[in-house]
A = this chain, B = another copy of it.
Amino acid sequence: MYTLDTEGHITTPAGFLAGAVAAGVKYDNRLDLAVITSDRACSAAGVFTRNAIRSAPVLVSSRRIADGRARAVIANSGCANACTGSRGVEDAQKMTTLLATRLGIDTSEVLVASTGVVGTYIPLDRIERGIQDLELSPANGHLFARAIMTTDTRPKEVAATIDDARGRYSIGAAAKGSGMIHPNMGTLLAFITTDATVEPGYLKRTLSAAVDGTLNMVTVDGDTSPSDTTIILANGASGVPPITEKNGDEFARALYCVCEHLAQQIAADGEGATRLLKVIVTGAESVADARLAARTIASSPLVKSAINGADPNWGRIACAAGRSGAAVDADKIAITLNRVQVMKAGMPMLFNEQRLRSSLEGREVTVEVSLGVGGCTAIAWGCDLSQDYVTINASYTT
């Protein structure tokens, strides 16, 4: 059994400390440097962007986590340290060395993640001062979540408490992401902690499975970032017996649920978003097809604009499914908007437009599409496209 704690955070699990400061990476004195660390060794796993351009922190962290071990993460917002060549990699490594020295641990146990403007170098002197100023405490979970925000309007965090045969333990998580959100493998920045002991190979497989169905199904604008990173640290501080493939079902379910919760929070806070868009695809030939169609619909600018206008323009949904590349039976496709069927067997249905329009004006819109060719299902989360998205992104670097 597990329960989700929406007031929980990344230091809810025992043995984790966090801290954050305004180091001056952002121009406006907001929090921009964050650290999470464990008071003991951890097993660790990560998933990272599939963009061919990988940020320097992704290059460093993905190599370092390959051995299934890590103990601390240093993250900054304001500068992505991407498209910065070998100097960028040296800067990212230097960040981990500085934190390792401060913590008195080995550099190889420190991971790094950065988010913000692409194509500028990290101001290392400010990072160095920031690291000195950090206060690390189990009480700073919420601070960590705030410090990794860029255009996010609110922090994304959650925790879960699991009670199973082996005892009680927990999972905590924080994520950021608002624009350049269309993850491919890893996603945005998401950090997850647990005080369970988890075998590294199983931790990696469980994380990948959870991310594929949740964080990888979020789309804000179709743009995959070179910085996408999800990292989990498992420190065993709860004292419960180790979790493995054989007995991990409850842990895997709770982890999936935590990731799903983060995914919904990220979609709902997409740049300029006024509504959360949930796209459920059924009747697909394969899970891959279902995911492809769901993501294509959730990322279509025309669908997203219609949702912004509370406009039941379901033809755009059908067209997006049709161009997605998923197998679709044009004579069987069916569409439901907020539980009102608008298309059946490839043809229009009569419906009360005024009533549907009112329901589409809510904070959450659910689109269900049956492709009519099989039995596979997927869910994608997105948001509407508003004029504010353009306003935010027409002048981001200035």
Binding site for B on A (CB under 8 A): 50-54, 80, 82-85, 87, 117-121, 179-180, 182, 184, 221-226, 299-302, 305-306, 308-309, 311-316, 318-323, 326-328, 330-331, 333, 343, 345-348, 385-387, 389-398
Contact check, B393 vs A82: say whether CB atoms are below 8 A apart.
Answer: no
Among B52, B314, B386, contact of A322 (Cβ-Cβ < 8 Å):
B52
Contact check, A393 vs B119: say whether CB atoms are below 8 A apart.
Answer: no
Tell me the minimal C-beta distance from A304 to chain B in angstroms. Answer: 9
Tell me the minimal C-beta distance from A126 to chain B in angstroms. Answer: 18
Contact A315/B52 with A301-B389, A306-B393, A391-B387 known, Cβ cut-off 8 Å: no
Among B53, B311, B327, contact of A319 (Cβ-Cβ < 8 Å):
B53
Contact check, B221 vs A83: say whether CB atoms are below 8 A apart.
Answer: no
Whole-angstrom distance between the alpha carbons of A222 and B182 in the complex?
Answer: 14
Whole-angstrom distance between the alpha carbons of A120 and B318 in the complex?
Answer: 13
Contact check, A348 vs B396: say whether CB atoms are below 8 A apart.
Answer: no
Tell me the minimal C-beta distance from A116 to chain B in angstroms. Answer: 10
Tell me the minimal C-beta distance from A86 to chain B in angstroms. Answer: 8
Whole-angstrom distance between the alpha carbons of A393 and B226 in the complex?
Answer: 30
Show 14 residue pairs from A and B whose CB-CB distance is below 8 angstroms, ordered by the A residue: A50-B323, A51-B322, A52-B322, A52-B328, A54-B330, A118-B318, A119-B318, A119-B343, A182-B323, A224-B323, A226-B318, A311-B397, A313-B397, A387-B387
User: Inside 8 A of A345's CB, which chain B residues have their CB?
Assistant: 85
Contact check, B119 vs A82: say whether CB atoms are below 8 A apart.
Answer: no
User: Inside 8 A of A327's CB, which chain B residues have their CB?
Assistant: 52
Contact check, A319 vs B85: say whether CB atoms are below 8 A apart.
Answer: no
Contact A184/B323 with A300-B222, A396-B311, A396-B313 known, Cβ cut-off 8 Å: yes
Among B53, B184, B305, B391, contact of A393 (Cβ-Cβ < 8 Å):
B305
User: Inside 8 A of A300's CB, which chain B residues have their CB?
Assistant: 221-223
User: Inside 8 A of A333's CB, which chain B residues have their CB?
Assistant: 53
Whole-angstrom distance between the alpha carbons of A387 and B223 in the complex?
Answer: 19
Tell me the minimal C-beta distance from A347 to chain B in angstroms. Answer: 4
Give A184's nearest chain B residue, CB to CB.
B323
Within the oligomer, what is the number of copies of this chain? 2
Whole-angstrom distance between the alpha carbons of A323 and B55 in the complex?
Answer: 13
Among B54, B316, B347, contact of A223 (Cβ-Cβ < 8 Å):
B316
User: Inside 8 A of A393's CB, which chain B residues have their CB?
Assistant: 301-302, 305-306, 309, 385
Most chain-B Cβ atoms within 10 A of its Cβ — which of A121, A306, A316?
A316
Contact check, B319 vs A394: say whether CB atoms are below 8 A apart.
Answer: no
Contact A395/B309 with A53-B333, A223-B301, A319-B224 known, Cβ cut-off 8 Å: yes
Whole-angstrom distance between the alpha carbons of A396 and B394 in the complex?
Answer: 24
User: Inside 8 A of A347's CB, which chain B residues have their CB?
Assistant: 83-85, 87
User: Inside 8 A of A87's CB, which chain B residues have their CB?
Assistant: 347
Give A371's nearest chain B residue, CB to CB.
B52
Give A308's nearest chain B residue, CB to CB.
B394
Give A54's nearest chain B residue, CB to CB.
B330
Contact check, B389 vs A305: say whether CB atoms are below 8 A apart.
Answer: yes
User: Inside 8 A of A121's CB, which chain B residues have their CB?
Assistant: 348
User: Inside 8 A of A326's CB, which chain B residues have their CB?
Assistant: 52
Give A300's nearest chain B residue, CB to CB.
B223
Whole-angstrom distance between the alpha carbons of A317 and B91 in the complex?
Answer: 23
Among B301, B311, B343, contact of A222 (Cβ-Cβ < 8 Å):
B301
Among B50, B53, B343, B386, contact of A390 (Cβ-Cβ < 8 Å):
B386
Known: A180-B302, A221-B301, A224-B323. 8 other contacts (CB 8 A): A83-B346, A121-B348, A301-B301, A305-B393, A305-B394, A309-B398, A311-B395, A390-B390
